[in-house]
Structure 1
């Protein structure tokens, strides 16, 4: 990584879709609170939507990051994340106010580690969208009719690709192109590769050191 570079730009995401229907799906549904005890985010993806996916008499504890899979003995519920036809999906299609509730960063971490690279929906909670941006996951909005049609399409055609063009603010599938919206700050950060602040700082180490040295309240 050269001086001044940040993360890889995210201009376009393409993959198969998975529909998760319902308004006001909050972060506790995306990742239940008992899974926030993990020291790292390793393995958290398998617990995405856990309580919507399983009838659990004795909820499991999160794994400790040793790389071993957790065996889930609970009875599975009818949920898209349990369906084999959606297991390789990378574009999540949701409805309104997705990611509301607490500001837990574990929610987008769980989705990303399950395999999600982009989320398309009617609207998103602001903090959730910000946490997604920190991971390079675009949150793209479209009107309710377009979202319902896209959910119906991916439900009927789980192997067909959905293209999310962040730069052009469009979502395409089959022979359909949907005019979408991406928050301007998010779009600029993703397209220019400035979404990862840690990477930006690492890429500008000399500038940071020079600024720090010029501050009278920073010790050598």
Structure 2
């Protein structure tokens, strides 16, 4: 992810980093209409924070579970029965670019889905299309959701399968994806692109960086304590 970590603002807040590009190896997860329940099963939502959710990403696709009521802190006896899901493949373990197909992230609006992917290590997602709410939840974490033609996505997935160490560059600002001498014409939602490139995607950081204006606005409201 380009840009430095958040820098201190003049009024003591923290600026969100600009996300102009993401560079890293890829992991292909194939299939249309992969919903948020597949990305992070509902039983793992009973947490106070998002910490540790990464290990449960695609859990029911990665393991042959025999206990659907297993608690999040239970012993993982099902981990002894892994499937051939890409998230179980050691050659993809350090991947930061997820490559998916159509309507990825459909289903419920749970923000735990992109939270789990980010904590697994994903910094950008390239796919055919995304569910709108899922893409919005990704934006709130600074994760670009970049789209391209199905043929280009399939070719990228095939290439990553065959060459897991291939470096992928997702150019958010320029809307291009590069890998191994190939260039994919991509698309980023204009509002998402603006927020990422300008470093305005983190609303909490944005408020913190404009604390004086927030205080002035709050003081002008009739229903707040002065």
The normalised TM-score by structure 2 is 0.92
Instruction: Show the counterpart of 2:60.
Output: 51
Per-residue deviation, 1:71: 5.2
In structure 1, distance between residues paired with 2:14 and 2:50: 26
Aligned to 2:21: 12
**Correspondence 1:35 to 2:44:** yes
**What is the SS of the residue equivalent to 1:55?**
coil
Instruction: Give SS of 2:187's match.
Output: coil
Q: Which residue of the other structure, out of 136, 140, 146, is the alignment partner of 1:140?
A: 146
SS of aligned partner of 1:149: helix
Scaled by the length of structure 1, the TM-score of the pair is 0.94
How far, CA to CA, are the matches of 2:110 and 2:136 in structure 1? 11
In structure 2, distance between residues paired with 1:129 and 1:122: 12
Residue of 172, 184, 199 corresponding to 1:178:
184
Give the Cα–Cα distance (whole angstroms) in 1 for the partners of residues 15 and 144 of structure 2. 17
Count of aligned positions? 214
Q: Map Cα deviations across residues 82-130 of structure 1 (whole Å, 9 max, x no partner).
A: 0000000000000000000000000000000000000000000000000
1:157 is aligned, of 158, 163, 188, to: 163
**Separation in structure 1 between the aligned mates of residue 188 and residue 155 of structure 2, nearest angstrom:** 19
Report whether the alignment pairs 1:83 with 2:93: no
**Shift of residue 6 of structure 1?**
3.1
Aligned equivalent of 1:2: 9
Alignment correspondent of 2:112: 106
Q: Which residue of 1 aligns with 2:103?
A: 97
What do residues 143-182 of structure 1 show as CA deviations (whole Å, max 9, x unaligned)?
0000000000111110110000000000000010100000
- Distance in structure 2 (CA, Å) of the matches to 1:192 and 1:212: 25
SS in 1 for 2:218: helix
SS of the counterpart of 1:16?
Answer: strand
Which stretches in structure 2 are left out of the alignment for 5+ residues?
Answer: 1-7
How far 1:57 moved relative to its partner? 1.1
- Is residue 77 of structure 2 the alignment partner of residue 73 of structure 1? yes
Q: Secondary structure at the match of 1:39?
A: coil
Decide whether the 8 Å contact of 1:6 with 1:197 is kept in 2.
Answer: no
Structure-2 residue corresponding to 1:130 = 136
Q: Distance in 1 between matches of 2:152 and 2:75?
A: 38
Q: Which stretches of structure 1, 4 residues or more, deviate above 6 A after TM superposition? A: none
Partners of 1:95 and 1:144 within 8 A in 2: yes
Whole-angstrom CA distance in 2 between matches of 1:108 and 1:210 = 34
Query: RMSD across aligned C-alpha pairs, in angstroms?
Result: 1.2
- Match of 1:21, SS state, is coil
Task: Give a deviation string over 1:2-51, Cα, whole Å, max 9, x none.
Answer: 14863100000000000000000000000000000011011000000000
Q: Is residue 2:32 matched to residue 1:23?
A: yes
